[in-house]
Structure 1
Amino acid sequence: MSTPAAPPTDRPIVLVAAAALIDVDGRVLICQRPEGKSLAGLWEFPGGKVEKGETPEECLIRELHEELGITVAQACLAPFVFASHTYETFHLLMPLYLLRRWEGIVTAREHKAMAWVKPDKLCDYEMPPADIPLVAWLRDVL
């Protein structure tokens, strides 16, 4: 017996691409959202909204340069897992990529703070609801 499909909603689907930067010590970079933005003060994986006509990989290359000052080759972005979460006014679909190689020095250009965190300690940081399930995947795989 199949379960009936959920009724459609008028919430738009927002596509956001994110990256788990992993350093040589196996730590993952998380960034604190700045004041004045939604979910300010929460910790997240760097990335951003995919613009019209842009692939998630192109978005990450652009966003990681804008947010962190690093240059990323598309071949270094490894698709990992995705989050699907309904917020009050939209539904978020967020692919998470693993990234171990980049050029430049990671610098907080747009975030309030940054932290390199061991995967088993990521749960100690308050994150947006969509990011929370990704933490378990990172902990289990890294």
Structure 2
Amino acid sequence: MTGSKIIEVVAGALMRADGGFMLGSRPEGKPYAGYWEFPGGKVEAGETALQALKREFVEEMGIAVTDATPWLTKTHHYEHASVHLRFFRIWDWQGEPQPREGQSFAWQLPGRYTVAPMLPANGPILKSLELPPHYAITCAHEIGVAAQLQKLAERDWAMVQVREPQMVRDELADFVARAAAIVRPRGGKLLVNADPAWLAGWPVDGAHLNGARLAACERRPDFAWVGASIHSQAELLRAGELGLDYALLGHVAATASHPGHAPLAWDGFTGCLAGDVPLPVYALGGLAADDLPIAREHGAHGVALMRGAWR
């Protein structure tokens, strides 16, 4: 499809409180009929992406979208067309979905799909929905190893990054093993912010790249989950080129980790997401768990917490 016109498209995931989301089947007569996808359609001339989303959901399933937040953008090349997809997550709506175009609808849970086949462009999107809204980062270097392990045991975080740059390799390996014994048996994911070469054979679910490692990285490290810390739109796009699963962008508010450095604030955060957003982005820095709604309004997948995770 090189040289073909790019079609602007919006798609939305109706979201339930338990993390479930709705997929729809493509009607007969359309390319990939019978494949499952996120409902949506083309952006018409003069429409914003949000206006197109609201119109499409009225036309396709007879519901009025009342609360939707921007999420991801993807370009995908099919045999019949090239599409630039803007994804939203829809948190509230009026009415019950009705199959106005002869399609079927199905509620799904992240990682536990009961419908097939999926539209090819949706693979990374489905994986992104497995990411939790809150992401915790350890700070044993401030509160002590024993206290950190105790707080890990007390709080059931679905995703935890071990970030302890002061630890030497053997010390870090021991701490990671003890943290993994707490986090992973209850279904949580454990990632480590360290040289990915160190992590081979460790009981981890993935690696997290700091800015220097992201800049030096030539290909995605071989882990199920890989994320990166970013501070600019260029770094965000680089993380997308490498096929990473998420990014942490900050610092949004003033934080003790960056004394004397002006925070991005929400306007700066939104500015970094002004173009394509190829992967989920967590807002980081000086935030609390209850900042989740405002983070989503500004395009974040969720919020990442260090000190705020353990208070």
User: Normalization by structure 2: what TM-score?
Assistant: 0.40
How many residues get paired?
133
Runs of 4 or more, structure 1, over 4 Å off, are none
Partner SS state of residue 140, structure 1: coil
Cα deviation 1:2-52 (Å, max 9, x = unaligned) = xxxxxx932110111000101233211000111111110000101101111
Match of 1:114 in 2: 105
Structure in which a larger fraction of residues adopt helix: 2
Match of 1:5 in 2: none
Counterparts of residues 21-36 of structure 1 (less than 5 Å)? 21-36=14-29
Match of 2:95 in 1: 104
Distance 2:115 2:29 in 1: 23
Distance 1:70 1:26 in 2: 20
Match of 2:79 in 1: 88
Match of 1:17 in 2: 10
- 2:60 corresponds, among 46, 56, 67, to 67
Distance 2:17 2:93 in 1: 12
Distance 1:96 1:123 in 2: 22
Distance 2:36 2:81 in 1: 20
Shift of 1:89: 4.1
Q: Identity, % of aligned pairs?
A: 38
User: Normalization by structure 1: what TM-score?
Assistant: 0.85
Q: Does 1:139 align with 2:127?
A: no
Distance 1:22 1:121 in 2: 15
Distance 2:112 2:2 in 1: 36
Q: Larger RCO: Structure 1 or Structure 2 (Cα < 8 Å, ≥ 6 residues apart)?
A: 1
- 1:38 corresponds, among 31, 35, 58, to 31
Distance 1:97 1:62 in 2: 14
Match of 2:44 in 1: 51
Contact 1:83 1:131 in 2 (8 A): no
Query: What runs of 5+ residues in structure 1 fail to find an aligned partner?
Result: 1-7
Cα deviation 1:103-139 (Å, max 9, x = unaligned) = 1111121142110011112485322111221111112
Question: In angstroms, what is the RMSD of aligned CA positions?
Answer: 1.8
Partner SS state of residue 67, structure 1: helix
Q: Which amino acid aligns with 2:106?
A: A
Q: Which amino acid aligns with 1:85?
A: H
Distance 1:11 1:56 in 2: 21
Contact 1:34 1:111 in 2 (8 A): yes
Match of 1:3 in 2: none
Query: What runs of 5+ residues in structure 2 fail to find an aligned partner?
Result: 134-311
Contact 1:33 1:112 in 2 (8 A): yes
Distance 2:27 2:80 in 1: 21
Q: Which amino acid aligns with 1:78?
A: T
Distance 1:58 1:83 in 2: 19
